[in-house]
Amino acid sequence: MNILKQTFLALSAGVVGTTLVAMPAAAINFGFSFNNELNGGGAVTGIIRGLDEGTGAATSVEILSNTTGLGIGEYIGSPLTNSWTVSGGEIIAFDFLSAGVLNSPPAVTDALLFLDSTELSGASFRAGIAPSPGPFVTGSGFVSTEDIGLSFTQLEDETDETESVPEPTSLLSFLAIGAVVTGTALKRKQA
């Protein structure tokens, strides 16, 4: 019975140690800005939250300001596409389309937002906001990449945006502690 108590105590200590040693894995957030030249003008700023190195979906795409006042708010509700590739801390490819008519409040329901890195009509790194429902333009031979001016800036880590994820070394430490204590207990039993 004494061996069982020692093993349980060691495993409990290992669990507490693993919890305390686990390093938080921070998501990467980006600010962005563009000129809405494809859909009526306006200077737009926003934030993309919850990206990681590699390719994946954002947890939040939000328009913070638009000089025309259209489409301010959150767009992750039911986006049609939501793919972002981050390499070396920079966004290098993306495809995001959220039609407001498909969203539910509190997400934006009256505007469409698109961000696309593929080339169309001579422009890449395209972005735009348009009323939804309604027609929208994703490319034009009269609007260049420079006219749109889409840019991304990595933001500093936000402590409230981190999620605690155990590191593999913490789990290995937990298992090693359990093995040592179990081995010690078995040696004592044999002696």
pLDDT single digits (tens) 48-67: 999 999 999 999 999 999 99
Cα separation, 108 vs 63, in Å, equals 9
Cα separation, 166 vs 127, in Å, equals 37
Its pTM surpasses 0.95: no
To 10 degrees, what angle do helices 2-21 and 168-190 make?
160
Q: pLDDT tens across 110-120, in order? A: 999 999 998 88
